[in-house]
Homo-oligomer: A and B are copies of this chain.
């Protein structure tokens, strides 16, 4: 069998403790891992089929009323596969930040407009921080501590980033002052 995609492991991870439908997987991804690993229906549904064919999950029809619905559970092989993946060194780390890119080239703009980039970045990070706070309220105490550790990391990261934006904004405004007076 060829290598599984990272999305495959997201699915394995989420069906490990409770059986879930594709729709439910999408919903839970959108409220948790999406901040560092997103997944769309276009990835989830085909991947569910592949994983079922490979015997790593099994689906069963559990309609809600007359609405057809397939929920998937992990198999012993699937658990094995998930653990084997977890034991490998993480490889992918990517960040694509249009704000940082604009800031990088901000010399092409007058200073006040460069500062506006930082302000916009700060506002965005604070908004995400608020989303994460809301998520945190929703979750009760779980016996699995890891999702909360990661969420906490997201909160700290967004705070750090927003603060950094403010500090850099102050620094730019200071140096603008220097230019005028020095």
Contact = CB atoms under 8 A, between A and B. Distances in A.
A149 B168 contact: yes
A146 B98 contact: no
A95 B77 CA distance: 30
- Chain A interface size band reads 35 or more
Interface of A: 6, 9-10, 13, 16, 32-33, 35-38, 79, 82-83, 85-87, 89-109, 113-114, 116-117, 120-121, 124, 144-147, 149-150, 153, 156-157, 160-161, 164, 168, 171-172, 175
Contacts of A91: 98
What's the dominant secondary structure at chain A's contact region?
A: helix
29 contacts: A6-B98, A9-B105, A10-B101, A13-B104, A13-B108, A16-B105, A32-B104, A36-B100, A36-B101, A37-B101, A79-B108, A82-B105, A82-B108, A83-B108, A86-B109, A87-B113, A90-B97, A90-B120, A92-B98, A93-B97, A94-B97, A95-B96, A105-B146, A106-B146, A149-B172, A153-B164, A156-B160, A156-B164, A157-B164
